[in-house]
């Protein structure tokens, strides 16, 4: 709850903005100011050291990012300013100079927020100095609030921002209990390896949002082995979420150039990279019409040499495209790759045999990459209460898991929240996450766990054709009675009904050919001076 209290305090700045700005605009001001204050607090111990190095290199002509950024510290600021020293008279000019004094990637984060535009608007409303005064006293030093807690604060602010803008917060980040379960399932089998000396591994999220999956994965490995090196990589479509993820990784001492901005499906900006671990929560049920041309072109031209060789799902849901993308990032050496992805029910159940979805599933099962699927409780996410599943895939299954798929039902392993957050009314406690992890690790069939062979999921669709068998019986009393009870019959003119009765009575007792029957009825009607059968009358008869 502490991160929620801190987020509430930061969000209280909105009281200053009320009236001059719309509620949907609060987050565009509050988020970059929070980021600026965090950067300032993290940088505080190094400012003198950075300025000394700057003085030594400022006239050398070298790229300052190359000499002032280093492993573990990828940003700097070359101005004497802090939020506390901007002044009341030249606040706007000093703040702009302050931001322009940051290193390349730190400055880019503010550009993605269009921060200079909002500075202009705050200055025009005579609110800039008041907002600066609010933020200068918020204690966001790493000694006070850890990187993990800061990530939670950012996510809580984004959730509030999304609610205020009537937006979908769940598209930008995943609840941390769900993240914790997914990271546990992905990393746990490698616990022994990750606890060893000199471990260096890569972690990738193709739709990284604010970087929650990456941060939680790193944190979990460091709980086991503080000296392990996990290098995070990611790509994100939303500019503001990207800015926070990139800045968050930079603050924690990771290379911010490994976090990319753009649509992963249309433009994979890490095309040659392969990773030890992949984690993702792609948006549920979102169509891929915007990238349909690029995806179909890659599927058509590259086939299995590209990312989408097995087939394409229907345009209304791109979840399986992200799954195929992750599988294209697998390492082929002995270390292999472990993947955790959170999906709704559509990738499991949509599409009959031979469809795009079915062909993708067949490709995964025949290659024996699917290890486990865990059914999660409903109401875990901020913007939806639908059923969700964690898929765990790998190209280095343990011997006892080869040719097998484990299904775990954890739908009733949840704890009610004291206060709902959007649609999130439930969470998984640490104990429940541990119980699910034990069920997966034990791989013993029981009430919650079933083990199947990969071939158990294979089906073919077979079309059985047989001759159409119809019989027309013009003299059958029961059928004639049903005919006269039909509403369409009662709507016919009396003369027409009598004519049809007369003709039916004159026909043969049994017809097995529709066309011959209708031909004889029409012939009979014309013999008594009436028109042939209409389409509606044919349907009625």
Tens digits of residue pLDDT in 97-124: 999 999 999 999 999 999 999 999 999 9
Residue 508 phi/psi, 5-degree rounding, is -65, 160
Residue 405 phi/psi, 5-degree rounding, is -130, 130
What pLDDT score does 405 carry?
Answer: 97
Pair 114, 31: CB distance under 8 Å: no
Give the whole-angstrom CA distance, residue 139 versus residue 136: 8
What pLDDT score does 165 carry?
Answer: 60
What pLDDT score does 352 carry?
Answer: 86
How does pLDDT run across 238-268, given as a tens digit for each residue? Answer: 888 899 899 889 888 899 999 999 999 999 9
User: Of residues 499 and 26, which shows the higher confidence score?
Assistant: 499
How does pLDDT run across 444-497, given as a tens digit for each residue? Answer: 999 999 999 999 998 887 888 888 788 999 999 999 999 999 999 999 999 999
Pair 136, 348: CB distance under 8 Å: no
What pLDDT score does 169 carry?
Answer: 42
Cα dist from 393 to 63, 180, 339, 396, whole Å: 42, 17, 5, 9
**Half-sphere exposure (CA, 13 Å, Cβ side) for 415?**
11
Pair 374, 384: CB distance under 8 Å: no
Q: Is the pLDDT of residue 322 over 70?
A: yes
Residue range 166-194: mean pLDDT, rounded: 80
Residue 470 phi/psi, 5-degree rounding, is -125, 145
Buried b (16+ CB within 10 A) or exposed e, 217-254: bbbbbeebbeebebbbbbbbbbebbbbbbbbbbbbbeb
Angular region, 126: left φ>0, alpha ψ -120 to 50, beta rest: left
Collect all residues with Cβ–Cβ distance below 8 Å to 56 and sequence separation of at least 6.
none
Q: How many helices (H) and strands (E) does the chain have?
A: 24, 11
Pair 329, 275: CB distance under 8 Å: yes
Token duo for residue 393: 């895939």
Closest CA to 377 of 341, 340, 408, 349: 408
Give the whole-angstrom CA distance, residue 259 versus residue 252: 13
Under DSSP, is residue 541 helix (H, G, I), strand (E, B) or coil?
Answer: coil
At 164, the pLDDT band (50, 70, 90 cuts) reads: low
Pair 278, 339: CB distance under 8 Å: yes
Pair 217, 230: CB distance under 8 Å: yes
Closest CA to 255 of 66, 48, 54, 37: 66
Question: How many CB atoms sit inside 10 A of residue 335's CB?
Answer: 13
Token duo for residue 377: 């409780």
Give the whole-angstrom CA distance, residue 51 versus residue 57: 10
DSSP conformational letter for 20: T
What pLDDT score does 1 carry?
Answer: 46
Token duo for residue 166: 């009537």
Radius of gyration of the chain from its Cα atoms, rounded to whole angstroms: 33
- Percent of the chain residues topping a pLDDT of 70: 97
> What pTM, to 2 d.p., does this model score?
0.79
Token pair 């709850």 is found at: 1
User: Of residues 181 and 168, which shows the higher confidence score?
Assistant: 181
């Amino acid at each position: 709850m502490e991160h929620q209290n801190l987020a509430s305090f930061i969000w209280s700045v909105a009281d200053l903005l009320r009236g001059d700005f719309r509620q949907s605009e609060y987050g565009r001001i509050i988020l970059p100011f929070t980021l600026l204050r965090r950067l300032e607090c993290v940088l505080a111990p190094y400012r003198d050291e950075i300025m000394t190095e700057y003085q030594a290199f400022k006239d050398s002509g070298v790229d300052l990012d190359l000499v002032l950024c280093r492993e573990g510290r990828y940003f700097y600021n070359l101005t004497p300013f802090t939020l506390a020293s901007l002044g009341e008279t030249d606040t706007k000019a000093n703040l702009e100079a302050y931001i322009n004094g940051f290193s390349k990637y730190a400055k880019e984060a503010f550009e993605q927020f269009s921060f200079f535009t909002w500075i202009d608007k705050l200055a025009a409303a005579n609110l800039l100095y008041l907002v600066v005064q609010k933020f200068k006293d918020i204690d966001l030093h790493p000694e006070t609030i850890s990187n993990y807690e800061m990530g939670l604060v950012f996510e809580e602010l984004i959730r509030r921002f999304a609610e205020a803008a009537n937006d979908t917060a769940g598209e930008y980040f995943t609840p941390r209990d769900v993240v914790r379960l997914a990271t546990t399932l992905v990393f746990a089998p490698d616990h022994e390896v990750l606890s060893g000396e000199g471990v260096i591994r890569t972690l990738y999220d193709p739709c990284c949002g604010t970087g929650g999956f990456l941060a939680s994965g790193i944190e979990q490995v460091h709980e086991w082995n503080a000296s392990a090196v996990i290098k995070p990589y990611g790509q994100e479509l939303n500019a503001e979420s990207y800015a926070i993820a990139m800045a968050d990784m930079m603050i924690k001492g990771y290379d911010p150039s490994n976090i990319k901005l753009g649509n992963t499906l249309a433009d994979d900006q890490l095309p040659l990279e392969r990773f030890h671990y992949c984690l993702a929560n792609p948006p549920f049920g979102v169509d891929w019409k915007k990238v349909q041309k690029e995806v179909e072109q890659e599927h058509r031209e590259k086939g299995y040499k590209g990312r989408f060789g097995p087939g394409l799902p229907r345009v209304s849901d791109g979840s399986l495209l992200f799954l195929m993308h992750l599988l294209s990032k697998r390492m082929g050496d002995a270390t292999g790759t472990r993947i955790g992805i959170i999906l709704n029910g559509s990738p499991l159940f949509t599409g009959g045999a031979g469809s795009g979805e079915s062909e993708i599933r067949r490709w995964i099962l025949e290659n024996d990459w699917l290890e486990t699927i865990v059914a999660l409780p409903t109401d875990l996410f901020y913007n939806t209460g639908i059923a969700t599943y964690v898929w765990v895939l790998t190209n280095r299954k343990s011997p006892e898991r080869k040719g097998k798929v484990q299904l775990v039902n954890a739908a009733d392993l949840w704890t009610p929240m004291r206060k709902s957050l959007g649609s999130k009314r439930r969470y998984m406690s640490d104990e429940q996450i541990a119980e699910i992890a034990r069920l997966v690790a034990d791989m013993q069939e029981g009430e919650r766990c079933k083990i199947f062979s990969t071939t158990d999921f294979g089906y073919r669709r077979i079309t059985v054709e047989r001759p159409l068998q119809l019989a027309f019986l013009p003299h059958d009393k029961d059928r004639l009675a049903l005919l006269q009870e039909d509403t369409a019959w009662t709507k016919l003119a009396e003369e027409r009904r009598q004519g049809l009765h007369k003709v039916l009575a004159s026909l043969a007792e049994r017809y097995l050919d529709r066309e011959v029957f209708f031909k004889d009825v029409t012939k009979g009607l014309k013999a008594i001076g009436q028109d042939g059968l209409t389409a509606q009358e044919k349907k009625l008869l």
